Amino acid sequence: MSLLTSHLTVNPITNYGNRMTRVVTHAVQGNLTPLPNVRNVIAVASGKGGVGKSTTAVNLALALARDGARVGILDADVYGPSQPRMLGLLGRSPESRDGKTFEPLVAHGLETNSIGFLVEEERPVIWRGPMVTQALQQLAFQTNWHDLDYLIVDLPPGTGDIQLTLTQKVPLAGAVIVTTPQDIALADARKGLKMFEKVGVAVLGVIENMSTFICPCCQKETAIFGEGGGERLAAETGVPLLGRLPLHAQIREEADGGRPTVVAAPDSVLAERYQSIARRLAEVLAARPKDQRGIFGSIVVEKK
């Protein structure tokens, strides 16, 4: 005689955006298995440097957390880690309780890990590709993340070893492309977007950063890098334009000071722009296919 028992995974309810929402695990690329204790990993990428990707990534993570989600941020920019400074954690190091895994540091409600916690800020990381990819895998898989709805991964710019390793080894629910409006940035952003498509990672949307410059004296907005670039890229590739962000001294100053805009000025217009983009991102992800493996449960046969 046998007893059949069905084991189902039930995700907790999150108070998200003033409404009760169940944040579920979404499908990832290939046959990869979602990270333990992480429902959705989202990569934030750019085709070239200098477009404000890291600042955008940390403010998106903070905006998701402000809406009630449990969020972490993984700084995967091994050569130029910036999250330790942006989160006000310079000089801190993650604890290892077993000599094999890391306990993430916490700042402003975000769990985080970065190679920047393991090397001095001014010390260059002079590593070849295999060392970089190994470090990335250790940071992703050997950090004890604690029941996260979203893990935001701040990627380095380009389409090199780190990006390839991430798409081959780390289960991604999707990716976000950050660009500025000018043609040279858009050309590189297209390459990054196509890279994710080739490896089967869903691109959840485009964010146009530095869309206008806001004068600190008169508050006039000027499109110094051109207009409509992000919108054109989204239209050409069929992915959503999640939103536009201005070039503003306040954003830079607050990130440099270890308190990004969403926590430093939560009621500001700038913080509301990040909040709007984060909510749009969550909506786009929610419409994606879910991870089906836990729906029907597993059958365990117990003999009596």
Q: Which residues of 86-123 are buried (b: 16+ CB within 10 A; e: fewer)?
A: bbebeeeebeeeeeeebbbbebbebbbbbbbbbeeeee
Cα 261 from Cα 266, distance rounded (Å): 7
Name the region of 37 (left: φ>0; alpha: ψ -120 to 50; beta: rest). left
Evaluated on CA atoms 159, 160, 163, 166, the torsion sign reads: positive
Name the region of 10 (left: φ>0; alpha: ψ -120 to 50; beta: rest). beta
In this predicted model, what pLDDT tens digit does every residue of 163-197 receive, in sequence order? 888 888 899 999 999 999 988 888 999 999 999 99
Cα 243 from Cα 215, distance rounded (Å): 20
Position 21 in a domain: no
The radius of gyration computed from the CA coordinates of the chain, to the nearest angstrom, equals: 20
In this predicted model, what pLDDT tens digit does every residue of 189-228 receive, in sequence order? 999 999 999 889 999 999 999 998 888 788 888 888 888 8
Position 264 in a domain: yes
**Nearest Cα residue to 8 out of 302, 303, 301, 292:** 292
Position 228 in a domain: yes
Mean pLDDT lowest among 61-70, 170-179, 210-219, 237-246:
210-219
Position 35 in a domain: yes
Cα-flanking dihedrals φ and ψ of residue 4, to 5°?
-95, 125
- 300 has which bridge partners? 5
pLDDT at residue 19 tops 60: no
DSSP letter assigned to residue 124? -
For residue 125, name the pLDDT band (cuts at 50, 70, 90): confident
In this predicted model, what pLDDT tens digit does every residue of 76-112 receive, in sequence order? 988 889 999 999 999 999 999 998 999 999 999 999 9
Stated pTM of the model: 0.88
- Inter-CA distances, 120 with 82, 143, 172, Å: 12, 20, 29
Mean pLDDT lowest among 118-122, 221-225, 296-300:
296-300
For residue 136, name the pLDDT band (cuts at 50, 70, 90): confident
Position 17 in a domain: no
DSSP letter assigned to residue 102? B
CATH of residue 87: 3.40.50.300
Question: What is residue 22's three-state secondary structure?
Answer: strand
DSSP letter assigned to residue 149? E
Task: Count Cβ atoms below 10 Å from residue 51 Cβ, excluding itself.
Answer: 24
Position 50 in a domain: yes
pLDDT of residue 290: 92
pLDDT at residue 152 tops 50: yes
Cα-flanking dihedrals φ and ψ of residue 152, to 5°?
-85, 130
Question: What is residue 33's three-state secondary structure?
Answer: coil
Position 215 in a domain: yes
The domain tally of the chain equals 1
Position 52 in a domain: yes
* Domain range for 253: 2-12+26-297
DSSP letter assigned to residue 156? P
